[in-house]
Structure 1
Amino acid sequence: MGIFDNKYLKPFKSIYLLVLIVFVVWMLFFDAHSWLFHRELNDDKRELEYQKEHYKNEMTKDAKAIKALSTEEGIERTARETYNMKRPNEDIFIIEYEDSIAKNQ
């Protein structure tokens, strides 16, 4: 009675099948070009493609902002809206509505 007499172990009697199984396991998990390594590379590739699209969109927004700032009117508008600047001899009135005031009670 040998180790391969079990009905589940009979297919492993062939040395070719054993070598094939060892080879497949080695290639899937342990080799430098393994399936796990390629899966990680594909995940990294997807992440980099997402970042590429994100930065392309940011470049488009920045190009629009640069185009808006290339004129005197654009610079003045940005200075007034973003930095609350005003011209000399100019008064600015800020109107607050009742629902926009924070209640401190």
Structure 2
Amino acid sequence: MNPLKRIPSILRNKFLIAGVGFLLWLLFFDRNDYFTQQARRQELSDLQASKRNYQKQIDTERRFAEDLRHDPATIERLAREKYGMKRENEDLYLVPEAKNNEPSAQ
């Protein structure tokens, strides 16, 4: 008896065999296979998240810059905090922050 007769006729169909082979090729062996596409989707998602984060930072800095142009209180706060400026007849004491790697003085 012929061994090909035991295989159902639907599995001997040349179009089905070619289609399955084509799908296997696309899923595993092609340059743009399924796993590469998944990695690219994940990378795109990460890049979009970082873009949103940077956009928030840009908006915050723009608001701060706008406040610096128009709000005298913001200008004074920046001058006091960053540059250590003070008003007349005012004493200013700068206390350095304790570093984590140094033991605290007791």
TM superposition score normalised by structure 1: 0.65
Deviations 1:50-82 (A, max 9, x none): 122111111111012102221444222211023
Q: Which runs of 5+ in 2 are unaligned?
A: 96-102
Counterparts in 2 of 1:91 and 1:26: CA distance versus 1, 3 Å: same
Q: Which of the pair is proportionally richer in helix?
A: 1
Matches of 1:76 and 1:44 in 2, distance apart? 43
Q: What root-mean-square deviation, in Å, do the aligned CA atoms of Structure 1 and Structure 2 show?
A: 3.1
State the identity as a percent.
28
- 1:80 maps to 80
Question: Match of 2:85, as an amino acid?
Answer: M
TM superposition score normalised by structure 2: 0.64
Question: Match of 1:34, as an amino acid?
Answer: D
Report matched runs for 1:66-105 at 5 Å. 66-71=65-70, 72-87=72-87, 89-93=89-93, 103-105=104-106
- 2:99 maps to none
Q: Which runs of 5+ in 1 are unaligned?
A: 96-101
